[in-house]
Amino acid sequence: MENRDIEQYFKEMMSAEKSADHSIITSLEKKVYDMKNLIEIGISLSSNLDFKSLVDAVLYSCIGQLFIDKIAILLQVDIDSNCYYIHSHKGYDIASISDEIILGENSVLSSFLQDHPEPHDYETLRKIPELTEDLNAINDLSPILIVPMKSKNSLNGIIIVGNKMLGTPFTTDEKEFLRQLSRFSATAVENSRLYLMATQDRMTRLHVHHFFQDKLLEEMKRSQRSGEPLSLFITDIDHFKKFNDVYGHQQGDSVLKEVARLMRESVRATDCAARYGGEEFAVILPGASIELASEVANRLRKTIEKHEFPGQNEPLHVAISAGVAQYDPERDLHKEDLIERADKALYKAKESGRNRVAVFR
């Protein structure tokens, strides 16, 4: 070998070594970056008790970190059930996604994931005959990876991961990121659900009375500091006792649930809707004048008035009355003062013929 060839050989060797070193450094830098992101995500999730925003944060963390085009999270119907439904999703056609239970109590897949809490390739799981029926139930989600969300000894949810936007396969490091993220997510979801159970009425899925009381006091203090308006309306179902006597308590409970659902859909995202007691509800409207609060209450009243509630033989109809009051720092020295004024307005609506909204001025 000539000197020139030897020199060229050593140059190529040094270049290859530099390239390898650069590749190692790049890989290490990415791992450090991923770990830093994972820690920040974990801190963010652990400090979030709002169930919906928590689940959305998990979805967006996966999308942002791994550039995934489709992702869904399956969660338990409630803490006492092993049934799973699609709670949230991104990238799918909404019309094709059902909120029905897709994994039942005796799901073989959920039992398998409980015992094997690491990311699984969907196609690999398809080779296990016992899992075929359950996997067919999630096939419309076009899964590539199935990631269990296990906290301590319980499976809290399942992350269904679709293709990456670039179509490249998931690397070992990316699967490890998902494994760690699912552990953080499972713990956060469990904590959030426990908080939800303590602050949410199980029948209506509205906030419970004591949460409403605390929230109202908090918003009154905020309104006093900022000068922003704050309004409250209290509403109940007209002649509900008579309705129960005629149709029975089971039908009455069904109406309560449906009224609560319509209420959740009618109020603003910033509002706080609560079950005040029995068939009585209350809504706190931060930043809302008495005119805006009246509009919200009237919109809800009209929605309920025209809604057909499922009955045994034919659709049923109910109506509500509501009383609205706006917070006045000089008059409402205690939260009970504001509640009393809204309650008086409700009484006025009842006295004026029901199925109407009255305002305390």
Catalytic residue numbers, as ranges: 279
- Specify burial of residue 295 (Cβ count, 10 A radius: 0-12, 13-18, 19+): middle
- Residue 179 buriedness (CB in 10 A; 0-12 / 13-18 / 19+): middle
Taking Cα atoms as reference points, which of 155, 151, 134 lies closest to residue 143?
Answer: 134
> Computed over its alpha carbons, how large is the radius of gyration of the chain?
28
Contact 233, 285 (CB under 8 A): yes
Can you name the residues that pair with 90 across neighbouring β-strands? 71
H/E run at residue 159: strand 154-161
| C-alpha span between 163 and 59 (Å, rounded) | 14
Cα–Cα distance measured from residue 355 to residue 343, given in angstroms and rounded to the nearest whole number: 15
Give the phi and the psi of residue 283 in degrees, each rounded to 5: -130, 125
In sequence order, which residues have a C-beta less than 8 Å from that of residue 146 and are 6 or more positions away?
113, 119, 120, 122, 125, 138, 158, 159, 160, 161
Residue 246: burial class (beta carbons within 10 Å; 0-12, 13-18, 19+)? exposed
Inter-residue contact 341 to 325 (CB < 8 Å): yes
Q: Report the 10 Å Cβ neighbour count for 78.
A: 11
| Backbone phi and psi for residue 323, each to the nearest 5 degrees, phi listed first | -120, 130
Looking up tokens 């990415």 gives 30
